[in-house]
């Protein structure tokens, strides 16, 4: 994002009577990126909307506690990621498929019929390949490939070492290549 609004958001938030304006600025600046980040994790549009709403509620409740030890964007992505993973965990628990790939398989099967998915056949195959990855590799791949997030920022977001993230991304790429080539 060329014009980073973080400073203005935080300054407004700390001014009396400006919390709502600051939150609106934050939502305008980041909602779309957060939605697509969440959507790549949970796949389903309605689930992404739910997780985004939960993310924004948590941000609203906790913005006054934000210590700026990391960037605002990184903090938002951490909250969005945690909300997305919690939603998936709840869905798996509800479907009693937490021990196998049942939840991911059902997402991969319904992705092609999703009215909100407007990709072509290649994009569909890529998304299905991504869904075949273990959860951590899928998350790392999405952040690196789609968000073009630096490993250092990813390390803050996921609270994992840069080395572990590089290894996860490498393994994810190899698995996706294997999935796409049918090996």
pLDDT of residue 1: 41
Tokens of 68: 């700026």
Q: Which residues contact 101 (CB under 8 A, 6 or more apart)?
A: 132
pLDDT score for 31 = 96
Start and end residues for every CATH 1.10.1740.10 domain found in the chain: 1-107
Asked if the model's pLDDT at residue 2 lies above 50, the reply is no
Confidence (pLDDT) at 7: 85
| pLDDT tens by residue, 104-136 | 666 666 666 666 666 667 777 888 889 889 989
What average pLDDT does range 6-14 have in this prediction? Answer: 87
Q: Using CA atoms, how far apart are residues 107 and 101, in angstroms rounded to an integer?
A: 10
Distance between CA atoms of residues 47 and 63, nearest Å? 24
Give tens-digit pLDDT for 147-178.
899 999 899 888 899 999 999 999 999 999 99
Supply the CATH classification number for the domain 1-107.
1.10.1740.10
* Tokens (6 digits) for 100: 């196998």
119-183 CATH pick, 1.10.3080.10, 1.25.40.10, 1.10.10.10, 3.30.70.20 = 1.10.10.10
Give me the residue label for tokens 């600025």.
25
Secondary structure of residue 149 in the 3-state scheme: coil
> In this predicted model, what pLDDT tens digit does every residue of 35-64 receive, in sequence order?
999 998 888 889 999 999 999 999 989 988
């Amino acid at each position: 994002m060329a014009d980073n609004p973080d400073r203005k958001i935080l300054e407004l938030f700390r001014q009396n009577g400006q919390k709502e304006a600051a939150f609106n600025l934050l939502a305008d600046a980041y909602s779309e990126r957060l939605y697509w980040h969440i959507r790549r994790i949970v796949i389903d549009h309605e689930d992404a909307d739910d997780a985004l709403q939960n993310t924004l509620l948590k941000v609203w409740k906790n913005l006054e506690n934000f210590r700026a030890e990391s960037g605002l964007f990184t903090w938002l992505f951490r909250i969005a990621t945690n909300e997305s993973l919690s939603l998936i965990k709840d869905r798996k628990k509800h479907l009693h498929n937490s021990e196998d790939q049942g939840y991911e398989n059902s997402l991969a099967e319904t992705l092609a019929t999703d009215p909100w998915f407007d990709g072509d056949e290649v994009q569909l195959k890529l998304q299905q390949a991504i869904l075949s990855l273990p959860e951590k590799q899928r998350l790392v791949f999405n952040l690196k490939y789609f968000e073009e997030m630096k490993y250092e920022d990813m390390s803050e977001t996921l609270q994992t070492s840069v080395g572990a993230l590089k290894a996860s991304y490498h393994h994810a790429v190899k698995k996706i290549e294997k999935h796409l080539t049918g090996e």
